[in-house]
Structure formats: C-alpha cells, structure tokens
Amino acid sequence: MSAFGGYNGQAYSPSGEKGRFVLPPAFRKAVKESSGGSRTLCLTVHDKFDCLIGFGLSRIDQLHAKLDREEDAAIRRNDDSFDRDVRAAQLFGFEQLSFDDSGRFIMPEHLRDLGKIVDGAYFHAAGDFFFVWAPDQLMGMGPEWKGAQAACAKLMVAAKKGAAE
C-alpha cells in the first residue's frame, strides 16, 4: 500500500436515500490510505465555517499534537480561559463512518444538520483533510472561495446531466 499523500481535488455527490452519499473515488482512496487500509471515514463539523470536514484515521495523531500546541500556547500567554477538556471534545468529537467498496456511506442526521447538507455534498480537498460543503453554503462564502464555488457549480451541473441520461 502506498503512503498517504494528502487530499486533493474536488467532487460532488448528490444525496441518496436515507442520508446516503458516495465518497468520491480520489477521496475514497486517500481516506483508505490514511486509515491504514480500512474503509473508515472520520467526519465532523468545521470549527469556523458552516460545513463539515472529513479525514482518515492518521489525522488523530495530528489532532493530539494540535491540542498540546494549543495548550502550550495558552500557558505561554497566561490564558486561563483555555479549557483542554472542551478543546479535546471539539477536536475528537468526530464520527467514524464505514463506507463500502463503492464509497457509499450514511451521513448521520446531526452532521447533515450541522453542515446544512440537504440535496448533495461538495467535497473540496485541503491537504490534511477535506471540506464537505452544502453547495448553497459554499456559494454564500466570499471571493476567496471563488475557485471552489466554480468547481462546485460545474460538478453539480455534470451530476444533474448524468442523472438525466
């Protein structure tokens, strides 16, 4: 098996029955590599944006290191407001979801609600993780997201054409 090289690319998945989505092939391969060969997708709400993020199990070590760095920085700043337990709950509250060989997985309702995902999900890579956007939420973002917005719009049109054929 090849080493995990990060996430890149974009894709769109229309929603299926009962909250079922398809993890696109490039993302599926990277998640599987990141999860040591298992088909385990980690999915959680983004800290800042109204979207979700996805990643494989290898990111858990990075999250532990991030928690330690944030705590160390708070100590250096003499910031008594930093609560390690709260931050740990935020970082490690992700869902571990299995997906089949075709990439199908069921997105839990609370995550669909948090990400405001209804009719479909746009996947956009970000190196160590990937964004999972409701297209209307992405379209409401500023001009710094114009590349993602354009890709999402084109991929949605292509998905609709494919469904009609």
Question: Hey, what are 6's tokens?
Answer: 């990060």
The verdict on residue 125 lying in a domain is: yes
C-alpha to C-alpha distance for 36 and 38, rounded to whole angstroms? 6
Taking only the tens place, the pLDDT of each residue in 26-80 is 899 999 999 999 999 999 999 999 999 999 999 999 999 999 999 999 999 999 9
Question: Hey, what are 163's tokens?
Answer: 């469904």
The verdict on residue 138 lying in a domain is: yes
Name the average pLDDT for the chain: 93
- CA angle in degrees (0–180, nearest 5) for 39-40-43: 140
The verdict on residue 2 lying in a domain is: no
Task: Kindly report the pTM of this predicted structure.
Answer: 0.88
The verdict on residue 5 lying in a domain is: no
Above 90 in pLDDT, residue 18? Answer: no
The verdict on residue 34 lying in a domain is: yes
Mean pLDDT over 75-90 rounds to 94
The verdict on residue 78 lying in a domain is: yes
Mean pLDDT over 124-151 rounds to 97
The verdict on residue 72 lying in a domain is: yes
The closest alpha carbon to 38, from 112, 105, 94, belongs to 105
Query: Which residues constitute the domain of residue 76?
Result: 10-164
What pLDDT is stored for residue 64 in this prediction?
Answer: 94
How many structural domains compose the chain?
1
C-alpha to C-alpha distance for 152 and 125, rounded to whole angstroms? 12
Check if the beta carbon of residue 128 is closer than 8 Å to that of residue 7: yes
For residue 42, give the CATH number of its domain. 3.40.1550.20
